[in-house]
Amino acid sequence: MPLQLSVAAFFAFFLPFQVSKIGNDEFLRKFVFQYFGRLIIYISMERTILANLPTKIVELKKLSAMAGGTARIFLKRDDQTGSEFGGNKVRKLEYLLTDAQNRGCNLLITCGGIQSNHCRATVAVATQMGMKSAVLLRISEQPPVRGNYFLDLLMGADVKFCTRDEYRDHRSEIMQKMADEYAAQGYKPYIIPEGASNEIGTLGYFNCMNEITKQEKELGITFDTVVVATGSGGTVAGLHLANMVNGLDKRVIGMAVCDNVEYFTNIADHISKGAFALLPNKKSVVPMEEWRGRIEINDGYVGIGYALSRPEELEFIKTVARTEGVVLDPVYTGKAMYGVWNELKEGGNLRGKAKNILFIHTGGIFGLFPVSEKFEF
Cross-sheet strand order for the sheet of 158-162: 158-162, 132-138, 107-113, 189-191
Pick from 57, 53, 55: nearest CA to 219 = 57
* Integer Cα distance of 280 and 154 in angstroms: 40
Inter-residue contact 189 to 107 (CB < 8 Å): yes
Scanning 185-260, the segments in alpha helix (DSSP H) are 203-219, 234-245
Looking at 6, 20, 44, 116, which residue is catalytic?
Answer: 116
Scanning 163-233, the segments in alpha helix (DSSP H) are 164-184, 203-219
- Residues 6 or more apart whose Cβ sits within 8 Å of residue 101: 23, 48, 129
Task: List Cβ<8 Å contacts ≥24 apart for 315-318.
Answer: 315/376, 316/341, 317/368, 317/375, 318/375
Scanning 220-291, the segments in alpha helix (DSSP H) are 234-245, 261-276
Per this entry, what is the length of the chain? 377
116 is catalytic: yes
Residues with a known catalytic role: 116
